[in-house]
Amino acid sequence: MEPMAFRILHTADLHLGKSFSELPPERAGQRRADLLATLTRICRKARELKVDLLCVAGDLFDKAHPSPALLASARHALADAAVPVVVIPGNHDPLDEGSPYRQSGWPGNVHVAAQSGWQRLALDGPETWAFGYARGAAHQSPWPAFPGCAHDALLMLHAACLAPGLAADASYYPFTPNDIPPCAYLALGHHHRPLRVNAMPCAWYAGAPEPLEAEVTPAAVQLVTLTGTDAVVEPLDLATRHHRLATIAVDGLTAEEIWQRALAAANQDDLLTLRLTGLLDAGEMLDSLALAADLSSRCFAAEVDIAELHLPHAAAEGEGVLGALHALAQQRMQTVAGDERLRLERAVRYAALALEDKL
């Protein structure tokens, strides 16, 4: 007899209540509303698809103690899913004293991993284990304490897998793909980029369902179909907004041409990262901070990435004061990012023009 299919909607890292302090207050508030809207959309999709389980693999909240209003809104959204839901704590919302995960008031369809470490949940379907994230032992691997499970089990964990393509972060229950015990599916949270870290047993980071930072990989929710020990994973786009990366090679372009191409890439609802690459012509002045501000007036949010932009003369060995200036600037560029890098780039450009008597 063929085993029955069991469908899961796997998400994580919604970070409800995130400050978005890099944005103006009004837009930061809108982004927080976006996150809640995305949770609502996920729960409604779970109800629409009639999945057997909605799994939230940690960091539902951005802080360990969300406001009462935010907690109430999240609980209301999860109740609206009208299917069984499992929520596990993460490193941003761990099982601290006073954690909402230790409190009553959760809807009847919501099961919370309210104990530290591994716990088996009483759910219909495959054997299901969830991990309760607690700060105290976060530097240790979660697997030595795992009691074992059936080969068609479902496991849920918020932790840092030390796998290729991921940052080596040993502060959040670190483990390697080889540590994963036989199971049908390991639903992971913590990394914000959707990524399969293991084929057999199948283990996926759902990724953040709403883009929280610049990512080339689109935000997604994973629809997982388990049939015995087999797992099929399909990404679903349920985001409120989308991040877009636009790249402009500046070689041979005037500052005006760069500016116009940048503005042509802007879209009102986008979260845009404009990446400038190549060597800027020596006679051109490009104010990256002003460009970022102009883009931000035409997009929901925009940033200019100049990590791959080379200053004039930087590609050749310079001599004298000008050469020393560019050598120092290139060295410093390796250690700064964001607005600090933009300010440094602008300061170096003005200094170079002054030294060349072009101001």
Mind listing the pLDDT tens digit for each residue in 103-126? 999 999 999 999 999 999 999 999
314: confidence class by pLDDT, cuts 50, 70, 90: very low
Query: CA nearest 273: which of 250, 296, 256?
Result: 296
Cβ atoms 270, 298 nearer than 8 A = no
322: confidence class by pLDDT, cuts 50, 70, 90: low
d(CA 136, CA 128): 24
What DSSP line would sit under 8-50, residue for residue?
A: EEEE----BT---TTS-HHHHHHHHHHHHHHHHHHHHHHHHHT
Please check the confidence at residue 154 and state whether its pLDDT lies above 80: yes
* Residue range 262-297, pLDDT digits in tens: 999 888 888 899 999 998 887 788 888 889 889 988
Instruction: Output the six-digit token pair for 165.
Output: 């393509």
* Residue range 211-254, pLDDT digits in tens: 987 776 788 999 999 999 999 999 999 999 988 889 999 999 99
Provide the mean pLDDT of the chain. 89
Partners of 128 in the β-ladder: 121, 154
Average pLDDT of the segment spanning 290-318 = 78
What pLDDT does 329 receive? Answer: 72
Amino acid identity, position 293? A
Cα 282 to chain centroid distance, Å, stands at: 37
From the candidate CATH numbers 3.40.50.300, 3.60.21.10, 3.40.50.720, 1.10.3720.10, the one assigned to the domain spanning 5-236: 3.60.21.10
Q: Which of 68-77, 249-258, 346-355 ranks highest by mean pLDDT? A: 68-77
Domain with CATH 3.60.21.10 in the chain: 5-236
Give the 3-state secondary structure of residue 216.
Answer: coil
